[in-house]
C-alpha cells in the first residue's frame, strides 16, 4: 500500500487538475503545426527513421527475396541473431505491461506517472520482436499455415504439442492484450485532448476517443474492464515468457534442456524491461522537464526493484553453473564450466554476469539511485547485459553441442546487423511518435492521484493535531 | 431532452452536493467527471455487469477451446508423437492463452458496445472543462428548483438548463 512517509509525494508542487493537464499536454499544445517539433526530436526521429529504412526497407525485403542464407545462420547455428533479438525485444516488451499491471494489482500508486510510457514501449518492442519469427520462417507468405482452419485443404491440423505454435498464439495474445489495455487507458485522455483542440486535431481525437465521456456509468464500466484486462494480462506476462523459454528447454541441447528456464526467462524479461523503462523515463523526465511527475522517488523505486531482480538473476546464473557441475553430465558441464567460464565464450559470459548481476548492485547506494547520470548508464549497461545473456543462451549451445566434429562458429552478417538496427529504428520511431502526439502520462490517473494525495495530507494534518493534543 | 446541470470545480464540494441530493431525494441522472471518483459509485449505486460477463466469456472460451483441441487433436487427426497421449496436459497452456485472448477482446467489445462508443460519435452535451477540472451533475429538468438551491448551497460555480441529445 502507498504510504506517504515511505514513498514521498508522488506529484510535487501541489498541482491543480488544470495544471496537470497543461503540464502533460504542454509539449503538444505549444507546437503550432502538426509537423513542428523541437530540434532534438527531429534529430532523433531522422536518426531512428534511417535505421528503420535501412533495416526494414532494405534488409528485410532482401531476406525475404533471397532467403535465410543471407544471415549468419549455419548448420550448427540454426538460430542466430534473429532469435537473440526476438527474445531480447520480447523481454523488453514484457516489462511495460508487467510494470503497469503488477503495480496496478499491488495497488502501487507510483505507477501512475510511468505506466503509459511503459505500455507504449511494450507495443513497439513486441512489434519489433514479432518481426523476427515472421521472417525467420523463410517463406512468410506461408505463415497462414500456423492457423488451424481445417485439415482437408492442407492435409494436417497444426501440432498443438509444439512450443513454437504456443509462441505464436501467446505473442499474438500478448500484443492484442497490451494494445487494448494501453488504448483503453488512453480513452479518457483522448477525450481531454479532444476538448482542448480545434480543427483537424479535434476531428482526429474525436475519432480516437470514440466519443468517450466521463459519465458515471462509463467510469464504472471502464474501471471494471481495465481491471479485467489487467488481471488477465498479469498471468499472461508470466505465461508468455515461460512459453518462449520452452522453445529452448523442450529441446535436448546442453545448455537449453533446463527446468529453470521458465522462471529464469520471466525474471530476465522483467529485468531488461525495467531497465528500459528506467532509460525511457529518464529521457522523458529530462526533455519534457517533468521532474514533478517522475520524481527522484519514482526512479529510486524502479532502481530498488532492479536490485531485487538482479539478485534473482545472479542466483539463477550460479544455480545453472552448480547444476551443470552437480549433474556430472559431460555435455552440460562442458558448456557451462568450460565454454562459458574459461573457453570460447568466456568474454560474453563474464560480461553478462558483471553487467546483470554485479553492476546493478551499485543501486544499494542511495547516491547512485538519486543520480540521473548513473541511473541512465546502469540502465543501458543492463540492456546490453541482457542482450548478451540471450547471445549466451542461443549461440554457444548450438555451436558446441554433442559432437565436436560438428562444432562450428557463428558470426552475424551485415543483413543480421541491419535488421537488428532496423528494429531499434522501429522502436525509436514508435516511441518518438508516441512522445510527440499522444499523452505521455495518464492524466486522469494523475488527477486521481493528486486527489488522493490531498486527502492523505489532510488526514495526516488531522492526525497530527489529535496526536499533539493527546501528548499534551 | 432538457436537463438541468450544476457544475463544481472541486470534487469535495461535488460529493457534498451529491449527499445533499440523496438526502433531499433529488434524482441524479448522471455525473460527468474528469477522472474516476469511486465514492460516487457507492453514493449513487452504480454497478456494471462487465466482470460477470467477462467470467461468462472465460467459461465459454475454455469450453470452446477444449472442444476445438479435442476435435482436431484427438478425434479428427490424432498424431502419434513418440507414443504420447493425444489428449495431454499441454492443452492447459493453450486453454489459458486462448481464454485470455477471447476474454480480453470480448470484454473490450462489451465496454465499447455498452457505452455505444464509435469513432466521431457526437457527445450528448458538452461543458467547457468537463474533461479537465470540472464536475458536472445532471438532474431532470423537473427537479430544477430543488437542485438549484442545493447547487447554490454546496458551492457549484455554474448551473443552467441544457439540451441533451438522446
Taking a C-beta distance cutoff of 8 angstroms, is the pair B157, B9 a contact? yes
Nearest to B132 among A18, A228, A235 (CB): A18
**Residue extents of the structural domains in chain A:** 15-149+163-451
Looking at the complex, does the CB of residue A161 fall below 8 Å from at least one CB of chain B? yes
Chain A residues whose CB is inside 8 A of the B73 CB are 157, 160
Closest CA to A341 of A331, A330, A352, A349: A349
For chain A, which residues score pLDDT lower than 50?
1-4
Residues of B in contact with A196 (CB under 8 A): 132
Judged by CB atoms closer than 8 Å, whether chains meet at A192 and B131 is answered as: yes
Residues of A in contact with B32 (CB under 8 A): 213-216
CB atoms within 10 A of CB A442: 25
CB atoms within 10 A of CB A351: 17
Query: Residue A17 and residue A6: Cα distance in Å, rounded?
Result: 24
Cell of A312: 534473482
In contact, A424 and A80? CB cutoff 8 Å: no
Closest residue by Cα to residue A59 from A420, A387, A410, A426: A420
A446 to chain B: closest CA residue: B35
The nearest CA of chain A is from the CA of B74 a distance in Å of 11
The answer to whether the Cβ–Cβ distance between A161 and B76 falls below 8 Å is: no
Across A223-279, the runs of DSSP E, i.e. the strands, are none
Stretch B15-25: mean pLDDT: 91
B107 and A225 within 8 Å at the Cβ level: the answer is yes
Q: Among B41, B105, B130, select the one facing A214 at the smallest CB separation.
A: B130
Chain A closest-CA separation from residue B145 CA (Å): 23
Say whether the ipTM exceeds 0.90.
Answer: yes
Largest CA distance in chain B: 80
Q: Which CB contacts under 8 angstroms, 24+ apart, belong to B68-75? A: B68/A148, B69/A160, B69/B94, B69/B95, B72/A148, B72/A151, B72/A157, B72/A158, B72/A160, B73/A157, B73/A160
- Provide the pLDDT for residue A1: 39
B108 neighbors A229 (Cβ within 8 angstroms) = yes
Chain B residues within an 8 Å CB radius of A207 = 119-120
* pLDDT score for A460: 55
Considering only residues B115 and A111, tell me which one the structure prediction assigns the higher pLDDT.
Answer: B115
Report A:450-469 residues touching B (Cβ under 8 A). Answer: 451
Residue A361 Cα, gap to closest chain B Cα (Å): 36
For B100, which of A166, A177, A445 is closest by C-beta distance?
Answer: A177
Domain range A15-149+163-451, its CATH number among 3.50.30.50, 3.90.226.10, 1.10.3720.10, 1.20.1630.10:
1.20.1630.10
What is the signed CA dihedral for A149, A151, A152, A153, rounded to 10 degrees? Answer: 60
How far apart (Å, rounded) are the C-alpha atoms in residues B147 and A216?
18
Phi–psi pair at A324, nearest 5 degrees: -60, -40
Of the residues B13, B73, B131, B164, the best mutation for testing chain A's interface (the one with the most A CB atoms within 10 Å of its CB) is B131
Q: What is the helix (H) or strand (E) element at residue A347, kind and residue range? A: helix A346-353
DSSP code of residue A147:
S
Contact yes or no for A214/B33 (Cβ under 8 A): yes
Helical spans, DSSP H, in B32-143: 38-43, 50-70, 90-114
Q: Is the model more confident about B165 or about A153?
A: B165
Determine the Cα–Cα distance for residues B139 and B145; give it in Å rounded to an integer: 11
Q: Which domains does chain B have, with CATH numbers?
A: 2-34+129-163 (3.30.70.120), 50-114 (no CATH)
Return d(Cα B96, Cα B64) in angstroms, integer.
12
Nearest Cα residue to A414 out of A17, A4, A62, A21: A62
Task: Judge residue B121's burial from the number of C-beta atoms within 10 Å of its C-beta, 0-12 exposed, 13-18 middle, 19 or more buried.
Answer: middle
SS3 content of chain B, % helix, strand, coil (to 5): 50, 15, 35
Closest-CA residue of B relative to A223 is: B36
Instruction: Give A 220-279 residues with CB within 8 A of chain B.
Output: 220-225, 227-229, 232-233, 235-236, 239, 243
Which tens digit of pLDDT belongs to each residue from B44-76?
999 999 999 999 999 999 999 999 999 888 888
Q: Which three cell numbers stand for residue A163?
A: 512450443
For the sheet with B135-140, list strands across it. Answer: B30-32, B135-140, B2-8, B158-163
Q: How many CB pairs under 8 A join A and B?
A: 186
8 A C-beta contact, residue B128 and residue B17:
no
Amino acid at each position: 500500500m502507498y504510504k506517504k512517509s515511505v514513498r514521498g509525494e508522488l506529484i510535487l508542487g501541489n498541482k491543480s487538475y488544470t495544471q496537470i493537464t497543461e503540464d502533460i499536454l504542454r509539449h503538444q499544445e505549444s507546437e503550432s503545426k502538426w509537423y513542428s517539433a523541437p530540434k532534438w526530436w527531429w534529430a532523433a526521429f531522422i536518426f531512428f527513421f534511417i535505421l528503420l529504412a535501412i533495416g526494414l526497407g532494405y534488409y528485410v525485403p532482401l531476406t525475404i527475396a533471397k532467403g535465410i542464407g543471407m544471415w549468419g545462420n549455419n548448420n550448427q547455428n540454426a538460430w542466430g541473431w534473429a532469435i537473440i533479438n526476438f527474445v531480447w525485444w520480447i523481454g523488453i516488451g514484457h516489462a511495460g505491461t508487467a510494470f503497469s499491471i503488477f503495480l496496478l494489482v499491488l495497488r502501487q500508486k507510483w505507477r501512475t506517472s510511468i505506466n503509459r510510457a511503459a505500455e507504449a514501449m511494450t507495443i513497439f518492442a513486441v512489434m519489433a520482436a514479432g518481426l523476427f519469427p515472421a521472417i525467420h520462417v523463410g517463406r512468410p507468405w506461408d505463415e497462414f499455415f500456423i492457423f488451424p482452419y481445417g485439415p482437408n485443404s492442407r492435409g494436417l491440423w497444426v501440432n498443438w504439442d509444439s512450443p513454437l505454435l504456443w509462441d505464436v498464439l501467446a505473442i499474438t495474445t500478448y500484443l492484442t492484450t497490451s494494445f487494448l489495455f494501453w488504448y483503453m487507458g488512453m480513452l479518457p485522455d483522448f477525450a481531454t485532448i479532444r476538448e482542448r483542440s480545434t480543427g483537424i486535431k479535434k476531428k482526429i481525437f474525436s475519432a480516437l476517443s470514440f466519443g468517450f465521456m466521463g459519465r458515471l456509468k462509463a467510469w464504472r464500466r471502464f474501471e471494471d474492464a481495465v481491471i479485467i484486462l489487467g488481471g488477465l494480462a498479469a498471468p499472461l506476462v508470466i505465461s508468455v515468457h515461460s512459453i518462449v523459454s520452452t522453445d529452448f528447454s523442450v529441446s535436448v541441447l546442453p545448455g537449453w534442456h533446463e527446468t529453470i528456464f521458465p522462471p529464469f526467462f520471466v525474471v530476465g524479461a522483467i529485468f531488461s524491461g525495467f531497465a528500459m523503462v528506467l532509460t525511457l523515463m529518464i529521457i522523458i523526465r529530462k526533455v519534457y522537464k517533468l521532474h514533478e511527475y517522475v520524481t527522484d522517488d519514482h526512479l529510486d523505486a524502479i532502481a530498488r526493484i532492479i536490485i531485487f531482480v538482479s539478485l534473482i538473476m545472479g542466483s539463477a546464473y550460479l544455480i545453472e553453473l552448480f547444476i551443470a557441475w552437480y549433474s556430472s553430465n559431460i555435455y552440460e558441464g562442458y558448456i557451462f564450466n568450460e565454454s562459458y567460464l574459461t573457453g570460447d565464450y568466456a568474454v560474453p559470459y563474464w560480461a553478462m554476469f558483471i553487467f546483470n548481476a554485479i553492476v546493478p548492485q551499485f543501486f544499494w547506494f542511495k547516491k547512485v539511485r538519486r543520480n540521473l547520470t548513473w541511473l541512465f548508464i546502469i540502465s543501458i549497461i543492463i540492456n546490453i547485459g541482457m542482450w548478451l545473456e540471450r547471445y549466451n543462451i542461443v549461440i554457444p549451445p548450438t555451436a558446441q553441442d554433442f559432437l565436436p566434429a560438428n562444432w562450428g562458429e557463428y558470426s552475424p552478417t551485415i543483413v543480421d546487423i541491419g535488421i537488428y538496427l532496423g528494429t531499434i529504428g522501429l522502436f525509436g520511431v514508435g516511441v518518438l511518435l508516441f512522445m510527440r502526439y499522444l499523452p505521455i502520462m495518464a492524466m486522469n490517473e494523475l488527477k486521481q492521484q493528486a486527489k488522493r494525495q490531498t486527502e492523505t495530507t489532510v488526514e495526516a494534518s488531522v492526525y497530527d493535531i489529535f496526536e499533539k493534543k493527546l501528548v499534551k | 431532452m432538457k436537463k438541468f446541470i450544476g457544475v463544481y470545480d472541486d470534487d469535495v464540494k461535488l460529493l457534498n452536493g451529491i449527499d445533499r441530493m440523496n438526502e433531499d431525494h433529488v434524482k441524479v441522472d448522471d455525473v460527468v467527471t474528469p477522472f474516476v471518483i469511486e465514492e460516487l459509485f457507492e453514493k449513487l449505486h452504480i454497478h456494471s455487469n462487465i466482470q460477470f460477463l467477462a467470467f461468462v466469456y472465460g467459461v465459454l472460451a475454455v469450453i470452446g477451446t477444449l472442444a476445438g483441441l479435442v476435435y482436431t487433436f484427438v478425434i479428427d487427426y490424432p498424431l502419434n508423437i513418440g507414443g504420447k497421449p493425444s489428449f495431454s496436459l499441454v492443452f492447459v497452456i493453450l486453454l489459458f492463452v486462448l481464454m485470455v485472448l477471447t476474454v480480453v477482446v470480448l470484454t473490450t467489445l462489451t465496454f465499447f458496445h455498452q457505452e455505444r462508443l464509435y469513432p466521431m460519435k457526437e457527445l450528448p452535451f458538452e461543458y467547457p472543462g468537463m474533461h479537465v477540472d470540472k464536475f458536472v451533475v445532471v438532474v431532470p429538468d423537473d427537479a430544477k428548483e430543488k437542485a438549484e438551491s442545493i447547487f447554490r448551497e454546496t458551492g457549484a460555480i455554474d448551473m443552467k438548463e441544457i439540451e441533451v441529445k438522446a
